[in-house]
């Protein structure tokens, strides 16, 4: 009996995870990647001695990466070294206030003393709530790979799903139940950065994210986070998985309720028994299956999460006031969320995420220089009202003005290297839905934070993985998703063969 053949579309982290998990089970797996390197949005820019992580910059929940390597009988640490980051991040405010988030209780208590009296006690109560939310969500949604409301109700029951899980309040409302200091509210609301949504609209159980850091720490890979892609690529090679780069898929051919093969842009036809798409669900159905109108309407609820203006700066001086991870907050963050996520407008006063990796890894920039990655969240592409490159360039200038005002003096004068990506670049490079960085947005009243199913539903041999699929965006979630896709395939009765 021949081995069951699996074609994986895309070598992002979700596709690599699914491919490795299936190969470890004995399936014959082959990967087809549009771009010239693996990793998807986990990408790399090297220029003039500067090294920038183009995509994810934070490594969390190492247990989900460890479980992937364990499926192949390997250890994560032998492929991907990790070092803890201290502090977790630094917070900057317009009035000059700065405080750190740090997992050490003594350090954290000292940092919160810079805020209103009682903030440390507020935080301890919030942290216990965050842990309870994480434990509840992880128990079923993460670890069992549950898809859909029916599965969630079956596992949790209505009481735990709607009352134990903080499902009926917004993330912002729940944060404000615990914290009295407005700066603490801003800092803990902005954990929503992990999934590119609005704290005004995301469900309260998304407050599980602080516990991800405080409970499991925040990590960095020496040499840059692209080292994870290299480690996964090495493991895939050891498992004998053929990887085809510069091989974009043009379409999927269907026969009845099955996919019969895929066709590459160069005309090659690939036959397989199973297909796993690391493309987001909506673009895959539209562009690879040719669906539109009513058929595409079945996934029309999957609104894209935000995009970003991704700015990379090399400077000829070091800014010692920066930690490895930093946040420069909007004067009115609630208004900022509303402007970007509800009204779909570029921010006039964005909250900025600034990464300075040389604090942990000096080799990421030439001696005496800084390597800065700056990310304001912005709306995805609006096809009806598209923005021009000049609009994004004007925002970039506002961003640099803000950083100069809030603590990085003369930043513009010290820039010796500059690169920036717009939603148009992100859409073209990764075929993401309207240039989204984080897959599907999380909103009360829309999807309650849940994403698409791993199973296609109407096509018996097509599966999905990645940020548009449960459990959602972020490196640990898409790596976990790939593993759960492999489990779903065997649960559905497919076997690796002889």
The tens-digit pLDDT sequence of the chain (498 residues) is 589 999 999 999 999 999 999 999 999 999 999 999 999 999 999 999 999 999 999 999 999 999 999 999 999 999 999 999 999 999 999 999 999 999 999 999 999 999 999 999 999 999 999 999 999 999 999 999 998 888 889 999 989 988 899 999 999 999 999 999 999 999 999 999 999 999 999 999 999 999 999 999 999 999 999 999 999 999 999 999 999 999 999 999 999 999 999 999 999 999 999 999 999 999 999 999 999 866 676 666 688 999 999 999 999 999 999 999 999 999 999 999 999 999 999 999 999 999 999 999 999 999 999 999 999 999 999 999 999 999 999 999 999 999 999 999 999 999 999 999 999 999 999 999 999 999 999 998 777 778 999 999 899 999 999 999 999 999 999 999 999 999 999 999 999 985
Residue 300: its pLDDT value, please?
67
Same domain, 226 and 297: yes
Angle value at C-alpha 337, between 436 and 125, nearest 5 degrees: 110
Residues 105 and 211 in one domain: yes
Give the per-residue pLDDT at 299.
67
Number of domains in the chain: 3
User: Between the CA atoms of 484, 13, 149 and 442, what dihedral angle is there, to the nearest 10 degrees?
Assistant: 160
Domain end position, chosen among 199, 217, 235? 217
Residue 318 domain-assigned (yes or no): yes
Cα(76)–Cα(70) distance, rounded to whole angstroms? 8
Do 294 and 319 belong to one domain?
no
SS3 assignment, position 139: helix
* Beta strands at 370-378 and 352-355: parallel, antiparallel or unpaired: antiparallel
Are both 344 and 373 inside the same structural domain? yes
Q: Compute the residue count for the chain.
A: 498
Tokens 């296609």 correspond to what residue? 456
For residue 483, what are the domain limits?
5-71+222-301+450-491
Query: And the tokens for 459?
Result: 């096509």
295 and 333 housed in the same domain: no
Q: Are strands 249-255 and 258-264 parallel, antiparallel or unpaired?
A: antiparallel
Residues near 301 by Cβ (< 8 Å), separated by ≥ 6? Answer: 446, 447
Would you say residue 79 lies in a domain?
no
Supply φ then ψ for residue 144, to 5 degrees: -100, -10
Q: How far apart (Å, rounded) are the C-alpha atoms in residues 329 and 379?
A: 18
Q: Measured between alpha carbons, how far is 275 from 259 in angstroms, rounded to an integer?
A: 7
Peptide bond into 158 cis (omega under 30): no
Q: Which element (helix H / strand E) includes 92? A: strand 89-92
pLDDT at 446: 78
| Last-in-domain residue among 170, 199, 217 | 217
Tell me whether residue 145 is in a domain: yes
* pLDDT the model gives residue 298: 62
Residue 76 within a domain:
no
- In this structure, the answer to whether residues 288 and 352 fall within a common structural domain is no
Is the same domain home to 311 and 354?
yes
In a domain, residue 200? The reply is: yes
> Do 101 and 190 lie in a common domain?
yes
**Does 226 share its domain with 205?**
no
User: What does residue 370 show for φ and ψ, rounded to 5 degrees?
Assistant: -115, 150
The total of other beta-carbon atoms located within 10 Å of residue 282's CB is: 24
In this structure, the answer to whether residues 241 and 294 fall within a common structural domain is yes
Alpha helices in 72-181 (DSSP H): 105-112, 119-137, 148-159, 171-178
- Please indicate, yes or no, if residue 498 is contained in any of the structural domains: no
Q: How many CB atoms lie within 10 A of CB 495?
A: 13
Contact 4, 27 (CB under 8 A): yes
319 shares its domain with 425: yes
Dihedral pair phi/psi, residue 57, rounded to 5°: -125, -5
In a domain, 63, yes or no: yes
* Assigned domain for 496 exists: no
* pLDDT value for 163: 87
The pTM score is: 0.96
Collapsed DSSP state (helix, strand, coil) of residue 415 = strand
CA 268 to chain centre: 32
For the beta carbon of residue 156, count every other beta carbon within 10 angstroms. 19
Same domain, yes or no, for 234 and 208?
no
Q: Which two tokens stand for residue 155?
A: 């596992």
Residue 385 burial by Cβ neighbours in a 10 Å radius (0-12, 13-18, 19+): exposed
Helix (H, G, I), strand (E, B) or coil at 359: helix
* CB 440, CB 471: distance < 8 Å: no
Q: What CATH number is associated with residue 290? A: 3.50.50.60
């Amino acid at each position: 009996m021949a081995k069951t053949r699996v074609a994986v579309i895309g070598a992002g982290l979700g596709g690599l995870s699914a491919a490795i998990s299936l190969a470890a089970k004995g399936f014959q797996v082959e990967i087809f990647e549009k771009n010239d390197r693996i990793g998807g949005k986990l990408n790399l820019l090297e220029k003039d001695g500067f090294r920038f992580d183009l995509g994810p910059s934070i490594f969390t929940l190492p247990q989900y990466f460890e479980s992937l390597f364990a499926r192949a009988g390997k250890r994560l640490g032998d492929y991907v070294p990790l070092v803890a980051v201290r502090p977790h991040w630094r917070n900057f405010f317009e009035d000059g206030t700065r405080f750190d988030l740090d997992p050490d209780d003594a350090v954290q208590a000292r940092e919160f003393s810079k805020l209103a009296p009682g903030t440390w006690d507020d935080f301890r109560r919030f942290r216990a709530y965050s842990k309870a939310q994480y434990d509840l969500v992880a128990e079923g949604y993460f670890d069992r790979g549950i898809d859909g409301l029916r599965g969630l109700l079956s596992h949790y029951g209505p009481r735990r799903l709607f009352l134990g899980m903080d499902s009926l309040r917004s993330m912002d409302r729940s944060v404000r139940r615990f914290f009295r200091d407005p700066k603490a509210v801003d800092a803990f609301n902005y954990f929503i950065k992990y999934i590119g949504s609005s704290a005004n609209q995301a469900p309260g159980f998304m407050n599980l994210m602080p516990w991800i850091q405080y409970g499991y720490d925040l990590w960095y890979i020496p040499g840059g986070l692209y080292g994870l892609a290299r480690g996964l690529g090495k493991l895939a090679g050891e498992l004998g998985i053929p990887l085809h780069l510069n091989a974009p898929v043009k379409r999927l051919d269907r026969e009845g309720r099955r996919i019969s093969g895929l066709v590459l842009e160069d005309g090659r036809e690939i036959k397989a028994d199973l297909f796993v798409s690391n493309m987001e669900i909506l673009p895959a159905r539209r562009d690879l299956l040719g669906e539109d109108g009513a058929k595409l309407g079945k996934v029309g609820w999957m609104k894209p999460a935000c995009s970003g203006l991704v700015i990379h700066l090399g400077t000829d001086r070091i800014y010692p006031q920066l930690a490895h991870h930093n946040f420069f907050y909007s004067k009115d963050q609630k208004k900022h969320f509303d402007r970007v996520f509800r009204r779909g407008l570029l921010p006039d006063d964005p909250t900025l995420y600034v990464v300075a990796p040389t604090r942990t890894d000096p080799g990421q920039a030439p001696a005496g220089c800084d390597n800065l990655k700056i990310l304001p969240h912005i709306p995805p592409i609006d096809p009806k009202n598209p923005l021009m490159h000049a609009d994004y360039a004007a925002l970039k200038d506002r961003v640099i003005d803000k950083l100069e005002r809030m603590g990085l003096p003369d930043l513009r004068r010290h820039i010796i290297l500059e690169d920036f990506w717009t939603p148009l670049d992100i859409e073209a490079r990764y075929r993401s839905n309207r240039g989204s960085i984080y897959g599907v947005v999380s909103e009360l009243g829309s999807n309650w934070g849940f994403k698409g199913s791993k199973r296609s539903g109407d096509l018996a041999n097509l599966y999905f993985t990645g940020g548009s699929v449960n459990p959602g965006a972020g490196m640990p979630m898409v790596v976990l998703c790939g593993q759960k896709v492999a489990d779903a395939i065997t649960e559905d009765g497919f076997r690796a063969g002889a």
